Amino acid sequence: MGREREPQQQQQIPYTVEKLVALNPYNPDILADLENHVNEQVSSQTYSLDANLCLLRLYQFEPQRMSIQIVARILIKALMALPAPDFSLCLFLIPEQVQMEEQFKTLIVLSHYLETARFQQFWDEAAKNRHILEVVPGFEQAIQAYAIHVLSLTYQKVPRPVLAEAINIEGLSLDKFVEYQVANNGWVMEKVNGRPQLIVLPRNEFNHAELRKSAAEGIPLEHVTRLFPIFS
Amino acid sequence: MSSSYDYDDGSYDSRAYPSSAMGGGDVGYDPNFVPDSVKTFVVHLYRHIREKNVYEIHQMYEGSFQRLSERMFRESPWPSVEAVAPYVDNDHVFCLLYREMWFRHVYARLSPTGRQRAESWDNYCSLFGVVLHGVVNMQLPNQWLWDMVDEFVYQFQSYCQYRAKLKTKTEEELQLLKQYDQAWNVYGVLNYLQALVEKSTIIEILEREKDGLEQFTATDGYDYEGGSNVLKMLGYYSMIGLLRVHCLLGDYHTGLKCLAPIDIGQQGVYTIVIGSHISTIYHYGFANLMLRRYVEAIREFNKILLYILKYKQYHQKSPQYDQILKKNEQMYALLAICLSLCPQTKLIEENVSSQLKEKYNDKMSKMQRYDEEAYAVYDELFSYACPKFITPSAPVLEEPLTNYNQDAYRLQLKLFLYEVKQQQLLAGVRNFLKLYSTISLAKLATFMEVDEATLRTILMTYKHKMHAVGSDGKSFSNSDMDFYIVDFEEMIGELDRANLD
C-alpha cells in the first residue's frame, strides 16, 4: 500500500521555508520565521517535519525562547502525521520538565492510544480535550486516515462496528462515508444475511500474503497466519 | 626545510633520553623544555608534511607520537607549542596541528582543566578557520583527519557533560564558565561541521562521482594531482560528525539526513579508517533503532560486527583498540535489543549469532517476557549501549546550582522504555501465531487471556509497530511473521496447515 507520509489533507509545503531551513539549519535568527511557519501550517493545513524539528532544535539550544503554544501545535501536527513516528521525534527534543505541562501530558496519552490502536479510548479522550485540539483544523480527518491505514494493514474485511469505532463515525454519516470510499477508493460492501455488515478493504501487500512485496528486501517471512474472527 | 636545528636522522624515538626532567609526573613538568626526541619528532613531521609524504606522516602520527607519549608523557603534557615552534619555522599551521595533538593527548591521558578545554576550542576554531579559508595545501592521512573531526565532537560532548555538573564546581571554575561562555557553543560546533561540509563541496563531489565525473572513492579521497585532501576529507568526515552530534541531541531524523549523501550500502571512504566505519554504523544503527526501523539497524549491526570479528586482530596495537572493543560490545547490546523487539534472526550471520548468544542469551530470553524483569533488562542494555546524550543549552549559573548532566539521557531512556511498553504484548502474539496457519480470534483471545476487543487492538498494534516509515515516506514491513484477519465467516480448526505463502 505504501502510504505516503502526509495524511490525505495535509498538502505539500511552500518551498521557501524548506529552503530557509536547508540553508540555515543552525541559525537562531530564523526562529521567528519558523514559528510563523507553524501557524501557517495550521491555517493552511500543510505540514513540514523538517522545519518543525529545526524549530524544536532551536528551542532545545535556547530554552528561554520556547513558546509552549507553538510546541503544542507542532505536537498536534505530528500526531496527524501518523503512522510516521514524528510525534516521538518531537518528544526526543523536548525537555522532560516541559513535557510535564498539562496539555502535553494529554497529547502524550492520546499518542499512546493511537500507537496501541485503542481508538475508542482515543476518541473519548479527544472529546474531553477538544479545546486543545480544535485549534488545528483537519485533526479528526487525519486521525481517521491513520485508523483506516491501520485497519487496512490488519484486515481484509472489516466488520462495520469495528470500523465505526476506529473512525468514530456512526449511523447515516458512516453510510455516507463508506459510500464515498466505495465510489472513490475501491472499498466494497458485503452483506450477509443476519450478520453485521462487512467492508472489504482494497487488497494491499500488508493484508494479503500473495501481494507481500519484500519492502525490506530479503527478509525471510517465516509465517503468515490467517485469523478468523467469529461473532457470537 | 630551513630549520637550522641539527637533528639526527636515526630513529628518534629510540634515542636515549635524559630521564631526570621527565618521568616524575607533572611535578617536574616544564612546558618549555623540549627533549631531543621531541625536537626530532617535530622536525621530521614538519618536513614530511611539507613534502606531502603521506606515508611517513602516517607512520609518525600513528606510531611515533603514540610511542613517545607512552614512554615520556604518560603523566604530563607534551612540551608547549611555543617551545617547539622555533624548530618548525614558527609555521602557523603546523603549530595548530601540534596543539590539536597536544590537547588530544591531554584529554586521553590526563584530565583537562576548564581553561584547557576552552583553549582547545579556540585552537579548533583557528585550525578549521585556516582550512575553510582555503590556504592549506597539505595532504594529511585520513586517519588523522578523521581523528580531528571525531575528537572535535568528543570534546564538545565532554564539555557539555563537564559544565552540566555544576554542584561540584569551584568558584574559579564557575568564573571560567562565564568568561568562556562561547567555548563549545552548540551553534558554533554545528556550524563549523556544516561549513566544512559546504565549503568542501563534498556532497557535489559524491554526486559527480556517481556520474563518473569525479574520482573520490577510488583514490580514498587523496589528491594525486598536487592539491590538498584536507578540506575535502574534513567535509566528508563532518557528515559523520553531524550524525553523531544529532544523535547526542536526540535528533535522529536530522542525523540520518546529514549522513544521507554517503551510501552506506556500498564500500566507501568511510570504511577506510576503522574508527570512522564503526562510528558511522553505530550511530546509524542507533538512530534507526529509535525510529523503529529495526531491520535496517539489525542488518548494519550484523555486517559491522562480522567485520570487527574478522579484523580486530589487526588493530590490537592501534591506539583506538580499546574504543573498538567498547563499541563492539555496545553494538551487541543494541543488536540484542533490536532482535528482541523484532526477531529477524535469519538476518544474523552464524559467527555473530554465536557471539550474541554467548553474551546475551539469558538477557534476550528475559526480554521476550513482559514483566518488570524484562523491562529492567531493556533499561540496562539501553543505558550501557546508548550514546552519551547531552544538554546543549548554556548552564544557568544561579543559585541553587544543580547537576543536569543526566537529564538528556534520562529523557531518551524514558521514551525508549515507553516504546518497549507499547510493544510488550507483541512477543506473545508472535509466539502463538507461529503455531498456527489459521486460528479464530476467539481462540487466540483465550490463549492470550484477553477479551476479543483487546485482542483486536493488540493485533493492530502489532501491524502498526512492525511497519516503519522509511526516509522516502513509505511504509514497509519489519516483520518476520505476519498475519491478517480474513472475516468472520467461519471458525477454522487450529491445525489447518494450508500453506498460504
Nearest C-alpha of chain B: how many angstroms from A75? Answer: 15
**Which pLDDT value is given to residue A215?**
39
Say yes or no for a CB contact (<8 Å) between A25 and B412: no
Mean pLDDT in residue range B383-407: 88
Say yes or no for a CB contact (<8 Å) between B249 and A57: yes
Integer CA distances (angstroms), A47 to A4, A88, A110, B396, B436, in order: 13, 16, 20, 34, 42
**Which pLDDT value is given to residue A205?**
59
The proportion of chain A whose per-residue pLDDT surpasses 70, expressed as a percent, equals 78
Q: Number of Cβ pairs closer than 8 Å across A and B?
A: 229
The proportion of chain B whose per-residue pLDDT surpasses 90, expressed as a percent, equals 56
Nearest C-alpha of chain B: how many angstroms from A77? Answer: 16
CA distance B422 to B440: 24
Q: Which amino acid is at A46?
A: T
**Other beta carbons less than 10 A from residue B444's beta carbon:** 25
Which of B251, B346, B477 minimises the CB distance to A215? B477
Going by pLDDT thresholds of 50, 70 and 90, the confidence category of residue B501 is very low
| Chain centroid to CA B448 | 41
The edge-to-edge listing of strands for the beta sheet with A223-228 is B438-440, A223-228, B481-485
Number of H helices, E strands in chain A: 12, 4
Q: What residues in B contact A91, CB-CB < 8 Å?
A: 415
Which residue segments constitute the domains of chain A, with CATH numbers given? 14-137 (1.25.40.250), 155-212 (1.10.10)
Mean pLDDT in residue range B241-249: 97
Which of B463, B465, B483 minimises the CB distance to A225? B483
- Contact A93/B at CB under 8 A: yes
Say yes or no for a CB contact (<8 Å) between B440 and A162: no
Say yes or no for a CB contact (<8 Å) between A221 and B412: no
CA distance A221 to A65: 49
**Which pLDDT value is given to residue B2?**
35
Dihedral sign of CA atoms B406, B410, B412, B413 in order: positive
Say yes or no for a CB contact (<8 Å) between B459 and A231: no
Q: What is the DSSP letter of B3?
A: -
Chosen for mutation from B253, B344, B492 (greatest number of chain A CBs closer than 10 Å) is B253
Say yes or no for a CB contact (<8 Å) between A60 and B392: yes
Rounded-to-10 torsion of CA A123, A124, A127, A128: -140
Phi, psi of A199 (to 5 degrees): -115, 120
CA distance B472 to B426: 27
Say yes or no for a CB contact (<8 Å) between B467 and A83: yes
Q: Which amino acid is at B40?
A: T
Say yes or no for a CB contact (<8 Å) between B415 and A91: yes
Long-range contacts at B71-76 (CB < 8 A, ≥ 24 apart):
B71/B13, B71/B17, B72/B17, B72/B22, B72/B23, B72/B35, B72/B37, B72/B38, B73/B22, B73/B105, B73/B109, B74/B109, B75/B25, B75/B26, B75/B109, B75/B110, B76/B22, B76/B25, B76/B26, B76/B28, B76/B29, B76/B110
- Contact A207/B at CB under 8 A: yes
Phi, psi of B394 (to 5 degrees): -65, 150
Lowest mean pLDDT across A22-26, B7-11, B119-123: B7-11
User: Length of chain A, please?
Assistant: 232
Each residue of B433-489: pLDDT tens digit?
A: 777 777 888 888 888 888 888 888 988 898 898 887 777 777 777 776 677 777 653
Nearest C-alpha of chain B: how many angstroms from A18? Answer: 14
DSSP string, B172-238: HHHHHHHHTTTTT-HHHHHHHHHHHHHHHTHHHHHHHHHTTS--STTTTT---SS---HHHHHHHHH
**Which pLDDT value is given to residue A224?**
57
Say yes or no for a CB contact (<8 Å) between A115 and B252: no
Q: What residues in B contact A61, CB-CB < 8 Å?
A: 186-187, 392-393
**Which pLDDT value is given to residue B23?**
40
**Which pLDDT value is given to residue A155?**
83
Say yes or no for a CB contact (<8 Å) between B485 and A227: yes
- Contact A53/B at CB under 8 A: yes
**Which pLDDT value is given to residue A87?**
96
- Contact A23/B at CB under 8 A: no
Mean pLDDT in residue range A5-9: 46
Number of H helices, E strands in chain B: 21, 4
Which of A159, A216, A230 minimises the CB distance to B442? A230
**Average pLDDT, rounded, for chain B:** 86
The domains of chain B are located at 112-422, 436-499
Find out whether B206 and B261 touch, Cβ atoms under 8 Å: yes
Each residue of B345-355: pLDDT tens digit?
A: 889 999 999 99
Kindly identify which residue of chain B lies nearest to residue A84, measuring between CA atoms.
Answer: B469
Nearest C-alpha of chain A: how many angstroms from B435? Answer: 9
CA distance B476 to B339: 17
Give CA angle at B470 (B481, A96), nearest 5°: 100
- Contact A116/B at CB under 8 A: yes
**Average pLDDT, rounded, for chain A:** 83
**Which pLDDT value is given to residue A59?**
96
Q: Which residue has better confidence, A183 or B196? A: B196
The proportion of chain A whose per-residue pLDDT surpasses 90, expressed as a percent, equals 58
Lowest mean pLDDT across A18-32, A193-207, B353-367, B405-419: A193-207
Q: Exposure string (b/e) for A108-141, b if CB count within 10 Å is 16 or more?
A: eebbbbbbbbbbebbbeebeeeeebbeebebbbb
Rounded-to-10 torsion of CA B332, B338, B341, B346: -90
**Which pLDDT value is given to residue B403?**
87
Kindly identify which residue of chain B lies nearest to residue A196, measuring between CA atoms.
Answer: B488
Each residue of B168-204: pLDDT tens digit?
A: 888 888 888 888 889 999 999 999 999 999 999 999 9
Say yes or no for a CB contact (<8 Å) between B486 and A230: no
Which of B411, B477, B488 minimises the CB distance to A231? B488
CA distance B352 to B346: 11
